[in-house]
Structure 1
Amino acid sequence: MTPPPTPFDLAREAFLAACRLDVETPKPGNVSVESAGHGMTAAQFLASAQAAAGPLFAHGAPVGKRILDAVARTREVAGCNTNLGIVLLVAPLAASLAASLATSLTAPLIATLNERDEPDESRGEALTAQRWRAATERVLAQLTVDDARDAYRAIALANPGGLGDAPEQSVHDAPTVDLRAAMQLAAQRDSIARQYANGFADIFETGLAAVDEMPAEAPRLVTLNVFLTFLASHPDSHIVRKHGMALAQSVTLAARAQHGRWRAAATQTPDQSALRDLYAWDTELKSRGINPGTSADLTVATLFVAGRLAPQGWVRAPAARGDET
């Protein structure tokens, strides 16, 4: 008999499912199985997810090492930066899960566990968004300069451009503060750094709320709704770095209009014109080299959390069913 999956297995599976949905769901400006773009293909993203999964969910690894090893493995299989933002987001979330589970395996620490807001799934305690968020906050509070050093090396290796242009704690220099403090310096201009500063509020609040707005049996609808929600909420950091704030803001405004039309079609009588608008917008964005990559990264992190919170739910369902668009 095949043994039941462990909590670590479920986390890895939720991550891979989230990455799969990211490319199986056509999203304006992003690479998908239906539309390559920006010199990248869906196959590279899927290979990157497989390569990064091991380091991200390594038992007992510090956050910085998870980030560095995941990016290094990604470079080996993809040859370019396909998932730096995803890795930066998922590493603390994975570490907070691992810390909770590791605590439950050590008998002398059971009393400590009972005093903390961390789930012990081996004793039947449910993993909830509130508990996971609290555990993530503790992980963020304990980040070190070593974590920052490894994360800086990973960012330099991925070479995304823009993030290292800060007047303080540039990734081109050795960090002198812990990783959370370094991210806080960039939080006003980078949505991924903002998660380190605000305890992943955008994921646990905005992202999960967008998940709940769509039927769980339609994972592609969920994915697209989360993506458009993020893109319509804030100027996409990747677009800001590549093209400037004015253009990023114009994309945000366009996303709000596109999201409104698509939501009306998705929740009422199917309207193919809304989908045609999204496909046309996808073509336009790619022709101009505009990639809302940060919104996609936030989407993957949200799908990972949603899938792990409900491992028997929508994120484990077959995504390529052809009944959602």
Structure 2
Amino acid sequence: MNAPHDPGTTARLEAAFLWACEQDVVCAKPGNVSFASAGHGMSAELFVASARAACAPLTRRGAPVGTRIEAAIANTRAAAGCNTNLGIVLLCAPLAAAFEAPPPHVCPAPIQAAQSMQSVQRVLRALTVEDACAAYRAIALANPGGLGNAPSQSVGTTPTVDLRAAMALAADRDSIARQYAEDFCDVLGFGLATFRAAYLARAESRTPLADAVLLTWLRFLARWPDSHIVRKHGAACAQHVSNEAAAWLARGPDRLCAPRALDGWDAELKAAGLNPGTSADLTVATLFAAACMDPSLIAPTTAFLPETHS
């Protein structure tokens, strides 16, 4: 399903993706890697390199979703040598395909979100077994920890169902898989509404965008136990971290958005090897969708943009 080449659309999607990935490491989220705090054997610079490497194949107009995923992860592996962005790529590939149509010039946010969800539904319904095979190869190449074995359509086997059906089998235990099964409703519903509300509420703060990113991430983490922590450390540990996130939210945004307020929690999580990575991936996908709908969010001086892609 090849669409005509449209440099303007490609540039818009690339800018949105790079901006979203930049916010992920600019915002110091406890347990996650950022410019302010390395961790888990990784630095923010690895995430920068990964975003740049994944960007062109992920946003290639008309490419099948599975092809986008596999090529983006292959490029990431070559650039970073480790798994930095598998969750981001799995989430953003269908979104990139859905957002290839230019955004409406004037459209209220609720209508825009509903239209975007319809576009995502069309992309998800068109997924094939070939998409699943490509995604499985990408997952094997990324080699994420703690996947284990599933009763059916395990990543270590060759899939016999389409990518959406394969993801649906894991939807009850993996928040990324749930997006495929449920039309990205967490990202395009809860995530977008949370980010927009936080951005407006923090408009007068010193760092409104960073505050909004942090609050969106915290609300994802408080709402659903992080899948990455569940896989590596168990459900009870993940629920404890979610409870901690909820407790921080209860203190109010002024306290938790204060400089260095979360440094202690960040150190504790990293000392225990706890990385709420899936919550970060969902936040990046939310930011990507928000920027696709409203390109004015993207700062013209973003550090990721100087490198261009063919």
Q: Do the two structures share a fold, i.e. TM-score over 0.5? A: yes
For 1:108-147, what aligned pairs fall within 5 Å after superposition?
Answer: 128-147=112-131
CA distance in 1, matches of 2:231, 2:241: 14
> In the alignment, what sits opposite 1:279?
263
Kept after mapping to 2: 8 A contact 1:64/1:150: yes
For 1:225-244, what aligned pairs fall within 5 Å after superposition?
Answer: 225-244=215-234
Residue 28 of structure 1, aligned match among 26, 30, 35: 30
What's the CA shift for 1:260? 2.0
CA distance in 1, matches of 2:95, 2:260: 36
What's the CA shift for 1:60? 1.3
Kept after mapping to 2: 8 A contact 1:307/1:316: no
Structure 1 residues 59-68 or 257-266, which shifts more?
Answer: 257-266
Residue 211, structure 1, aligned to residue 177, structure 2: no
**TM-score, L = length of structure 1:** 0.84
Kept after mapping to 2: 8 A contact 1:30/1:293: yes
> In the alignment, what sits opposite 1:155?
139
CA distance in 1, matches of 2:252, 2:286: 20
Residue 167, structure 1, aligned to residue 169, structure 2: no
> In the alignment, what sits opposite 1:107?
none
> In the alignment, what sits opposite 2:88?
86
Q: Which runs of 4+ in 1 moved over 6 A?
A: none
CA distance in 2, matches of 1:288, 1:215: 31
What's the CA shift for 1:161? 2.7
Which amino acid counterpart does residue 263 of structure 1 have in structure 2? P
Q: Which runs of 5+ in 1 are unaligned?
A: 102-118, 321-325
Which amino acid counterpart does residue 93 of structure 2 have in structure 1? A
Kept after mapping to 1: 8 A contact 2:113/2:189: no
**TM-score, L = length of structure 2:** 0.88
Deviation sequence 1:76-118 (CA, Å, 0-9, x none)? 01000000000000000011123x46xxxxxxxxxxxxxxxxx
Deviation sequence 1:159-189 (CA, Å, 0-9, x none)? 1133352111001000010000000000000
What's the CA shift for 1:125? 7.4
Which amino acid counterpart does residue 291 of structure 2 have in structure 1? G
* Identity percentage of aligned residues: 55
Which amino acid counterpart does residue 253 of structure 1 have in structure 2? N
Kept after mapping to 2: 8 A contact 1:220/1:319: no
Q: Secondary structure at the match of 2:177?
A: helix
CA distance in 1, matches of 2:178, 2:113: 19
What's the CA shift for 1:224? 0.3
CA distance in 2, matches of 1:319, 1:255: 29
CA distance in 2, matches of 1:215, 1:292: 22
What's the CA shift for 1:59? 1.8
Kept after mapping to 1: 8 A contact 2:16/2:295: yes
The structure carrying a bigger helix percent of its residues is 1
- CA RMSD, Structure 1 to Structure 2 (Å): 2.1
CA distance in 2, matches of 1:184, 1:50: 30
Residue 190, structure 1, aligned to residue 174, structure 2: yes
What's the CA shift for 1:262? 4.2
> In the alignment, what sits opposite 1:224?
214
Distance 1:7 1:129, change over 3 A: farther
Which amino acid counterpart does residue 78 of structure 2 have in structure 1? E
Residue 75, structure 1, aligned to residue 77, structure 2: yes
Kept after mapping to 1: 8 A contact 2:140/2:155: yes
Which amino acid counterpart does residue 61 of structure 1 have in structure 2? A
> In the alignment, what sits opposite 1:199?
183
Kept after mapping to 2: 8 A contact 1:236/1:292: yes
Deviation sequence 1:233-282 (CA, Å, 0-9, x none)? 0110000011000100000101100122142536xxxx84xx54411100
What's the CA shift for 1:212? 1.7
CA distance in 2, matches of 1:22, 1:77: 18
Residue 245 of structure 2, aligned match among 242, 250, 255: 255
Which amino acid counterpart does residue 35 of structure 2 have in structure 1? V
> In the alignment, what sits opposite 2:290?
306
Which amino acid counterpart does residue 150 of structure 1 have in structure 2? A
Which amino acid counterpart does residue 25 of structure 1 have in structure 2? C
Kept after mapping to 1: 8 A contact 2:54/2:75: yes
Kept after mapping to 2: 8 A contact 1:86/1:297: yes
Q: Secondary structure at the match of 2:90?
A: helix
Kept after mapping to 2: 8 A contact 1:14/1:311: yes
What's the CA shift for 1:131? 1.4
Distance 1:250 1:26, change over 3 A: same
